[in-house]
Structure formats: structure tokens, C-alpha cells
Structure 1
Amino acid sequence: MRQPAPAPDDDLKLSAWLPYRLFLVAAQVARPLEGFYGETFGLSQAGWRILAVIAERDGANASEIGRACALDPFAVSRGIGQLVELGFAVRRPGKTDRRFAAVSITRSGRNAFNRIAAFGSAIEARLLARLSEAERVTLDSTLHKLEAESARIDTGGWRSLLDNTAAS
């Protein structure tokens, strides 16, 4: 019977890896939120994300929505279709180019968004209640830095990361 090789100390440990830990926190709070908007409004995850974007940026086009939600064009199209079907959004042709339809939230969509946002805010408040004011300020500052660096990592792509690792 073969024994597994011991892991070197410098190997990545998933349970201690920052991106995985951030993912777990996000996934654990997303599940109850998803259950709420799914059961209450019949929304998919993409539908909810798009609804949140158009609640903030009424009249956004599919391309803008995709960037804001980190969704591929197919998921954006399906999500917009779902919102239109539910009566939460309307799609209007672009003024100069019909390919760039503007998506606007309806009164019904705004009401749904407000209820989901209130539930989401309650989740956020519960998380933040575990932190002191100083920890909240530090967390906010830290997240800004991580968001900026993760955007640079994403823009550079995996090959750039591999090149940087080899050069180190």
C-alpha cells in the first residue's frame, strides 16, 4: 500500500488561502440571500445581480451590465430576459445603435430590489456587528486594496502571473 507523500511546508493550503477564504464568506452569505430572492421573486443569481445594477445605473446596456456583474454575454442576455418576463425591467433600443439596448428598472422591479436589498443589508449588518469600528475601517481599506490588485491580476491574466513567478 502506497503512503501519500507529505506536503512540503510551502504548498498552498486551501483552508488558509486568502481567495478561498473570501470565497467561503461570500458563498455562505449568498446562499440565504439567493434562497430569499429565488423563492420570493423567482429570480436567478444573474437576474438578481442585473436587477441590482440597473437599480443603481438605470438605462445601462448589456455590455455595461456584464462588466458590472462579471457575467458572460449569454448569462446577461438570459438574466435581462428573466427580468423583462417578470416585469422587473424593460428593454429599450439604443438611441443611435439598436444593438445597445438600454435596460431600465420598472416600479415592480424597484419594489423587489428594495425588499432584497433590505434583506442583504441585514446580512451585512450582522457581519459587521462582529467587528469594532476600527476593524471596519481597516476592512474597508483592505478590501479597496485587494479589489484594485485583483483587478490588475485579472487584467494581466494567468500568463503574466506565471512570468512574474518565474522571474522571482
Structure 2
Amino acid sequence: MNAEPKGSTARDEDLKLDAYLPYRLSVASNAVSGLIARAYQDRFGLTVPQWRLICVLAEDDGLTQGQLVARTVMDKVTVSRAAQGLLNRHLVARSDHHADGRSHVLTLTPAGSGLYAEIAPLALAYEAALISGLAPEEVALLKRLLARLQSAAGQLSGDAVPPRA
């Protein structure tokens, strides 16, 4: 970590894991990701990283692996493995980058686009079920707060990247 948080103390007796926000965010994220991962794996044979690449490519087709790393905030190895799995299944195609001979551009194939069209409604249904107990203004607030937390984490780590809305 590049920066020490302001006002931090080393009083371990004050740390209660169930009340510790980073822990709660991680637990919530793992619960949601696990739920969705099972659905993607069981029904479509996809890992969460593979689904994320398909989704990003459906939004912004024709990206390099470096652009996918930045866009998904996944590490290079995870993106590379996910991309290779999608290539093996002919869900994405790889072509040479016109400006950088060391880089490749990934695009969805018709099969990849078809799979996205099949999964996207399922993803939206899971989101709707997850937020069904929240009022629309609470959902909007939650999204704004998560973006601010992501931004603050990026600034503390020196990797400040504006979150996508």
C-alpha cells in the first residue's frame, strides 16, 4: 500500500471482524459472485472471469488483453486464462493489433454474442432479485457509495482509476 490511512491506529482490540467494512464487502461480494458463478458454470460452462470478458466485449468489442485487464480490474493472468478458455470454445476471436505487433485484439464471435444474449437476461434477473428489498433511491445510493469506495481504494493503493458507472 502506498499511503497510510489517516487516523489509523494499531489497537487490535478495537477491530471486530463482523463490523469491519472491508470484510463485510468481501463477504457480500463472495456471496453474490458465488451465486452467480454457480449459475454461469452450471448452465453455460463459464467461469466468472470468462463471463466478465464476454460482457465487456459485448459492450466494447475489439479490446486488447491490456484493455480488458484495466476494464475488468482483474489481473493479467486471470484475463489471459479466461480469454484462452473463450478462444478454445470459439466464443471470442483473436486478431493482430494493427498498431502493436505484440498485442492482440479480442472480439466476440457470433457464438459469443449469442451466449451473451442468452445470459444477460439471467444476470439482470439475479440483480433484480438481489436488490428487490431496496428502494430505487437506496440502490442509487449504494452504487454511488461503492464507486466512492473503489475510488478511495485506488487512491490509497496508487492505482487511482475512475470507476465506471
TM-score (norm 2): 0.81
When the two structures are aligned, how many residues end up with a matched partner? 150
Written as runs of structure 1 = structure 2, the 5 A alignment for 1:16-165 is 16-155=19-158
The 3 A distance-change label for structure 1 pair 156 and 38 is closer
Bigger-Rg structure (1/2): 1
* C-alpha distance in 2 between matches for 1:137 and 1:156: 25
SS at match of 2:158: helix
Q: Which amino acid aligns with 2:27?
A: L
- Contact 1:33–1:119 (CA under 8 A) maintained in structure 2: no
What is the aligned-residue identity percentage?
A: 29
TM-score by length of 1: 0.79
Give 1:34 shift.
0.9
Structure 2 unaligned spans of 5+: 1-10, 161-165
Cα distance between partner residues in 2 of 1:47 and 1:132: 31
Distance (Å, rounded) in 2 between the aligned partners of 1:125 and 1:117: 12
Matched-pair contact (CA < 8 Å) for 1:29–1:123:
no
Greater helix content: 1
Q: Which amino acid aligns with 1:91?
A: R
* Structure ranking higher on relative contact order (CA contacts 8 Å, 6+ apart): 2
* CA RMSD, 1 decimal: 2.1
- Residue pair 2:33, 2:48 contacting (<8 A) in 1 also: no
CA distance in 2, matches of 1:106, 1:127: 31
